[in-house]
Amino acid sequence: MLSLYIAELSGEGNEEQTERLLGLLPPESRNKALSRRGAALLTALGELVRLRMMDAAGVGYEVAYGKNGKPYVPSTDNVAFSISHSGHAAAGALLTGGGDVGVDIERVDRGNGVRHERIAARFYTDAERAYIDASDDRELSFYTVWTRKEAYLKYTGDGITRPLTEVDTVRLPDGVSVVSRIIEAAGGEYALSAVTPAGSMPDKEDIIINKIYY
């Protein structure tokens, strides 16, 4: 079953806040965050989400990495997780019961319609661009498509090694389920998508997003 987590920063992010979050992490997670130059704060936030999910699943904190750096829990094949961060928020997806999972979160940047059109022209399929054109809110639809692409590529483990134009989020393959939400987090608007095997996604009205504040 799928569980979603969102961690929000209480401020805009500064050195003091970074040090505070790093101080909450075990050594391995802290070293990982420190190795991400320019992204230590968000990496630390993502690690805190991962640790919270591992606690919830009762599988310990050990993590390993497979093809293209896809993380997994080496002690069991019954638990999968995925982490994403953007802006001042981090998202985590925890799947129990077997199978893979992918999640992506992106802060919505309003007023950049020309840039979004250029990105869509380069990376989106014809069906995805038609979906955006038919939407009442083109910017939100742009981000919904983007997060679905990223979540699906995390789900498959392909990551950025696979061209984005090969993934059509309007017609995802049989055997997978996707959920997308537009949420308020960290004082902004965010798009959030998660992909799981078909049958492991709760009914959309039953999906709970667990919020954590740091």
Beta-strand ranges (E) seen in 102-208 are: 102-107, 176-185, 188-197
Tell me the CA distances in angstroms from 181 to 4, 83, 145, 172, one per residue in order.
11, 16, 11, 17
Q: Are 100 and 156 in contact (CB under 8 A)?
A: yes
For 48-102, what is each residue's pLDDT tens digit? 999 999 999 999 999 999 888 899 999 999 999 999 999 999 999 999 999 999 9
| pLDDT score for 93 | 97
Q: Are 81 and 93 in contact (CB under 8 A)?
A: yes
For 94-126, what is each residue's pLDDT tens digit? 999 999 999 999 999 988 878 999 999 999 999
* Domains of the chain by start residue, with CATH: 2-213 (3.90.470.20)
What is the value of pTM for the model shown? Answer: 0.94
For 52-62, what is each residue's pLDDT tens digit? 999 999 999 99
* Closest to 135 (Cα-Cα) out of 126, 146, 147, 144: 144
Q: Which two tokens stand for residue 50?
A: 């991962």
Dihedral pair phi/psi, residue 191, rounded to 5°: -100, 140
